[in-house]
Amino acid sequence: MSELLELIQKRRSLRMPFDLARPVAKEQLAEILEAARWSPTAHNMQNFEIVVVDDKEILEAIASIERPISETFIRENYEQLSFSEDELLKRKTGILGTMFPPSWRRPDFRLDKIDEAEIASMRRRMPTSPVLLVVVYDPSRRAPASEGDFLGIISLGCVMENMWLAAESMGIGLQIVSSLSSGDEVKTILGIPDHLVIAFSCRLGYPVSEPAKWLRVRRDVEDFTHQNRFGD
């Protein structure tokens, strides 16, 4: 059990280029997909498909897609920021503001108030990786009596966590990429049918350099548990 907890605690998202000269072995990729296969899903519907992308030209085409900058995201992201490690340790939630460009650390962020150079830097390409996993699902299918498909969304989260922990156990870096879920460019490039929706994508590989070490925090168990009645 201690080994499993250590693996869970070590898991993190690596937002950096991966070494293209060091591919993910087919056997390791197979184990990651096997972990996805055994994910718990509502009513055992297994309502997911995974497109494995390792073709260099296709990866380049996806990486070249321009990802829009969302003012809404940046403004709401500001509410989750701490501006010192002491503040983050006290709050126990959110992330350090220093992880983001200076303009993202303002509560009044507006695209029309920053210069073109900074906008260009914010629209940087998706970092390179040897493999990209694109997870899709059919929103017209859901478990019985699960209006809104909340159980189906939980199931997709289980698929994500299973693959993430499997990759972590083998020393393979992983980053969840949500920005590829919007728009039709990825679906067009990969030939994904119109009725399917991209839930999330995973970059897989080995970092080209040592990942930056950011302070990571979690609430204490007693902060979110209640004994017999809420509030106790």
Per-residue pLDDT tens digits for 29-85: 999 999 999 999 999 999 999 999 999 999 999 998 887 778 888 889 999 999 999
Q: Where are the domains of the chain?
A: 2-67+126-210, 68-122
| C-alpha–C-alpha distance, residues 135 and 152, integer Å | 13
CB 35 within 8 A of CB 143: no
Q: Which two tokens stand for residue 126?
A: 């998706």
pTM here is 0.92
Q: What confidence tens digit (pLDDT) does each residue in 192-219 have?
A: 999 999 999 999 999 998 888 889 999 9
Residue reference for tokens 């260009």: 120
Please provide residue 215's backbone torsions phi and psi, each rounded to the nearest 5 degrees. Answer: -65, 130
**Which of 114-118, 151-155, 207-211 has the highest mean predicted lDDT (pLDDT)?**
151-155
Q: What is the DSSP letter of 204?
A: E
Pick the CATH number of 2-67+126-210 from 1.20.1440.20, 3.40.50.1970, 3.40.109.10, 3.40.50.2300: 3.40.109.10
* Nearest alpha carbon to residue 126 among 78, 58, 193: 58
* Cα–Cα dist 101/78, whole Å: 11
